[in-house]
Structure 1
Amino acid sequence: MPTAVRHRPRRYPSDTTVAEWALLEPLLPVEACQTKTGGHPEKWPRRQIVDAIRYLVDNGAKWRSLPADFPPWQTVYGFFARWNRAGVVAFIRDQLRRHIRTGKGRCPFPVTLIVDSQSVKAASTVGKDSRGYDPGKKINGRKRHFVVDTLGLPVMITVTAGDARDEIMARDLLWRLRLMHPQITQVWADSAYARDLLPTWTADHLWLSLRPVLRPRGARGFVVLPRRWKVERSIGWIMNARRNVRDYERLPAHSEAHLNWAFISLMTKRLTRNGPRTDGWTKKPHAAGEGA
């Protein structure tokens, strides 16, 4: 019989509330001991595992530096890696996104998306085989490619070396989007995605409308661009999670997992908050003509 685990009180801001856990628990896979193939019962409650992952993402701690009131870091890391490899993290992200969309009266499956990229510095733990120099941003590290819906909710996240060109990576990204989300009709992007005849290729091969949002002629400095501001705002949200300020992961897939967990925390808080409140999810009204 497994050793009884003492109850762990909620003490960190990143810990799940009762309402948040009620959302997340049904989305986790069945324990191995309850399947036909069988397995050992899990020693540590899954809520403690999720709280430990959220703590690490929110505070930017090292795995070995998890506070002692969490399960052992090796156990937490094992669940983190297995759930990401099995697609559990992306599944949770997608289910929460659909929940928010239906709650706002939208179709659960978006037809209009917005794509953008972000270059971040990489720590010494990131190998040379998965990092590169972005001459445009003058950053040696990795590049994150985000696809969000018109509410700014994540649909797909891909992490590559920093020297990956947007218009080249977009071909693979849009191809996977077409396979996984056949209902999509148009994608908004910045001017970098208009190079290399990408809009023509997208229309001919994927039957998608790739529509670049260009800066106003003569504009200097930062300018809020229609539609594109939503993906830029989403990037700003997840940068509040300290683990995402710089890339520390040896595997790009684990970088993607940290980004997804940051979005998951945002969405569970959005779904369980009490009373009227203005925050990032509802800061601006849905503008006419910006898609579903």
Structure 2
Amino acid sequence: MDSQSVKGDAVVGAASRGFDGGKLVNGRKRHLVVDCLGLVLAVLVTPASVTDRNAACGMLPALREYFRRLRLIWADGAYTGDVLTEAAHRLGLRLDIVRRSDDSRGFTVLPRRWVVERTFAWLMRSRRLARDYERRSDTSEAFVLWSMTMVMSRRLARHATRRQQQRRNLAPAA
């Protein structure tokens, strides 16, 4: 679980945009929950001023309803807090916070956190998601899901092409 702040275009209304003081971005924030492969399970678009903790409290019940076998969620340090821990405990989820060590300098790859960061990188390849151009936040959520659908369908098509080539190579010569 992680979030990404993106700048909002001029058409994004003042009611659905905010300022993220940590990233110094005026726009919206995309909150994602992904599986171990990096495929999107849940997405929520909020004003950038909404904290990750508050957004997660709103996402967890719906996530639990759709994915009943879900037991463990890895998240970064922004998801700490008694309210979120209690909400996860009530839903039967274990929230594992992956923290960066204090003595590390510069960029370090953190276990399990790189999966959601990679998903954000896949999504940013969609030109429409490089910035938030949508008036409504549910339309932004739909574009995130559409972009992830494109990523998955390209992989499936590539996999099907490989299988067809393997079948041709194994076919007996006449």
TM-score by length of 2: 0.89
Query: Does the 8 Å CA contact 1:125/1:250 hold for their aligned counterparts?
Result: yes
1:246 Cα offset (Å): 0.3
Answering whether residue 96 of structure 2 is matched by residue 211 of structure 1, we say: yes
Aligned 1:26-65 pairs, distance under 5 A = none
* Runs of at least 5 residues in structure 2 that lack an aligned partner in the other structure: 164-174
Aligned 1:58-137 pairs, distance under 5 A = 115-137=1-23
TM-score by length of 1: 0.54
Query: Does the 8 Å CA contact 1:116/1:147 hold for their aligned counterparts?
Result: yes
Q: Distance in 2 between matches of 1:254 and 1:141?
A: 15
Which of structures 1 and 2 has the larger relative contact order (alpha carbons within 8 angstroms, sep 6+)?
2
1:199 Cα offset (Å): 2.1
> What root-mean-square deviation, in Å, do the aligned CA atoms of Structure 1 and Structure 2 show?
1.3
Corresponding residue for residue 91 of structure 1: none
Corresponding residue for residue 191 of structure 1: 77
**Among candidates 158, 176, 191, match of residue 44 of structure 2:** 158
Answer with 1 or 2: which has the greater Rg.
1
Query: Which deviations, in whole Å up to 9, do the C-alpha atoms of 1:47-77 show, x marking residues without a partner?
Result: xxxxxxxxxxxxxxxxxxxxxxxxxxxxxxx
Query: Which deviations, in whole Å up to 9, do the C-alpha atoms of 1:59-105 show, x marking residues without a partner?
Result: xxxxxxxxxxxxxxxxxxxxxxxxxxxxxxxxxxxxxxxxxxxxxxx
1:220 Cα offset (Å): 2.2
Corresponding residue for residue 37 of structure 1: none
**Among candidates 51, 65, 68, match of residue 179 of structure 1:** 65
Answering whether residue 142 of structure 2 is matched by residue 252 of structure 1, we say: no
Which has more strand, going by share of residues?
Answer: 2
* Runs of at least 5 residues in structure 1 that lack an aligned partner in the other structure: 1-114, 277-292
Amino acid at match of 1:254: T
Corresponding residue for residue 121 of structure 2: 236
Query: Which deviations, in whole Å up to 9, do the C-alpha atoms of 1:120-179 show, x marking residues without a partner?
Result: 000000000000000011100000001110000111111010100011111111111112
Answering whether residue 162 of structure 2 is matched by residue 275 of structure 1, we say: yes
Amino acid at match of 1:128: A
Corresponding residue for residue 24 of structure 1: none
Q: Distance in 1 between matches of 2:82 and 2:11?
A: 34
**Among candidates 29, 41, 52, match of residue 143 of structure 1:** 29
SS of 1:275's partner is helix
1:207 Cα offset (Å): 1.2
